[in-house]
Amino acid sequence: MLFAPTDIDITITPQAVLAAISKQEYGLALNMALHLGERNVLKKAVDAIDLLNIDLVVLSVDIRMLKEMLSFIAEELTSSPHIEYYLQWSYSILQNYHTLIFKESIVYLETLRNLLRVITQHEKDFMNNCDKNQYVISFIEKQIKLNGNGMVEELIENYDVDGESVDM
């Protein structure tokens, strides 16, 4: 994270960020957290924002801190289970600031590559899970045709979490 000391004063502290969050001043809290450059404070500020308010809050992001915001989102996408939430952040930032990012593409290149890499990996994981589900459903449908409807519960119970069969 980038610490931006020229843009802060003595009133911008982690406690001030938490106070802004408690007052539901999410744009202010997010910008203060970005300028502080402390990852855990930024995470608290971002996570406090409701999914429906992301588009509005993104509009208040200081454009000088946009790269740091995108980098944070890419990092969170790699480790967080809240994929839809951080994808919405990515989408909203790219939707609202695409002309700026395009004009200064060299500055944003590494960050955008990281974001693309993470999103692509999630896509591969989802597609892999969809394929597994498709094969399991196909197997169950064939078993129902062969054995009748009474075997459905038994078939489902005999599959573990990964979708691999357990000895029957």
- The model's confidence at residue 139, banded by pLDDT at 50, 70 and 90, is confident
pLDDT at 36 over 70: yes
Provide the token pair at 15: 């406690």
pLDDT at 10 over 80: no
DSSP string, 98-149: HHHHHHTHHHHHHHHHHHHHHHHHHHHHHHHHHHHHHHHHHHHHHHHHHH-G
3-state secondary structure of 73: helix
Average pLDDT of the chain to the nearest whole number: 86
- CA atoms of 132 and 122, how far apart (whole Å): 15
Count of CB atoms within 10 A of residue 84's CB?
Answer: 9
115 or 161, greater pLDDT? 115
pTM: 0.75
- The model's confidence at residue 166, banded by pLDDT at 50, 70 and 90, is very low
- The model's confidence at residue 8, banded by pLDDT at 50, 70 and 90, is low
- CA atoms of 110 and 105, how far apart (whole Å): 9
pLDDT at 29 over 80: yes
Percentage of residues of the chain with pLDDT beyond 70: 82
